[in-house]
Amino acid sequence: MAAKQPPPLMKKHSQTDLVSRLKTRKILGVGGEDDDGEVHRSKISQVLGNEIKFAVREPLGLRVWQLLSAVMFSGVAIMALAFPDQLYDAVFDEESVSSKTPIRLYGGALLS
């Protein structure tokens, strides 16, 4: 006696069924307005938020400060790597340092 084969499974194409797509989007919570009045096109945009909020330009003073601080840190780091004795003398008013290794490590950490 041969076992009866079950009929092949019929897949429902939710891409073509507009009512099914609408129900799916309502269940996921996308496509409608939220409390802020924003319309989310996907769950990812709902979780991450609207990218327009992050397209704000920073003030010019902030950009200048970032540039100046980067130049200062790089300058002190290069001075610590190339001329550790002069940097030690500029910072401390004591006698000369016995080992240059800690100053060069400091310069490497600043440069990185």
The yes-or-no verdict on residue 22 having pLDDT over 70 is no
The per-residue pLDDT of the chain, averaged, comes to: 77
Residue-wise pLDDT for 53-99, tens only, equals 556 778 899 999 999 999 999 999 999 999 988 888 888 877 777 88
Average pLDDT (36-55) is 61
Q: Which residue has the higher pLDDT, 82 or 35?
A: 82
Residue whose token pair is 């401390």: 92
Residue 7 pLDDT: 74
